[in-house]
Amino acid sequence: MRLRAIFAIAMAVVLGVGAYALTAHYARDASGPRRMLQTQSLAVKLQLTDEQRDAIDAINAAFQRERQQMRDRHRQHRSELLELLRENPPDRERIDDKVEEISQLQQQMQRLAVSHIIDVSAELDDNQRERLFTLIDEAMCPGSVMGGGGRDCR
């Protein structure tokens, strides 16, 4: 009986890891992490013109460069925070300062993302803009993964 329980737990872990790996695989394109406002995806979903596609490609390229720089800084700050936490005894003031730096950077990243959405939406007509914000609403909603769409968020 105990062997069956251990086997069942082991299988659950293996299946869980496998499901996670498959989900991660399908959520990525050839260039890395899945990007919500990727031009190819938007071109199909919003029926973009060639001019809109080119403009959004340029917006996305600039956004990706700046976002990557912020991510690199964020990774560095997290590493520094971990080193501060490892100190014995930990210096709470320095830790609080580092947490504040990380919070400020996260705010900057959020502002960058919002600015990106505004820049992309400026290239769209009214119907495309409405569809874009519906897509964003669905992606931001916890129920969207299960097909619940925006209704679970309100």
User: Could you give the dihedral angle defined by the CA atoms of residues 113, 119, 123 and 127, in that order, rounded to the nearest 10 degrees?
Assistant: 50
At the second CATH level, the architecture of 37-123 is Up-down Bundle (1.20)
Read off the pLDDT of residues 59-69 as tens digits, 9 standing for 90 and up: 999 999 999 99
Average pLDDT, the chain: 78
Could you tell me the residue ranges of all domains in the chain?
1-34, 37-123
Q: Is the pLDDT of residue 23 over 50?
A: no
Burial (CB < 10 A; 0-12, 13-18, 19+), residue 120, is buried
pLDDT on residue 1: 59
Instruction: Check: CB of residue 98 under 8 Å from CB of residue 81.
Output: yes
Answer whether 143's CB lies under 8 Å from 153's CB. yes
Q: Is the pLDDT of residue 27 over 70?
A: no
| CA dihedral sign of residues 43, 60, 23, 148 | negative
| Averaged pLDDT, 127-136 | 91
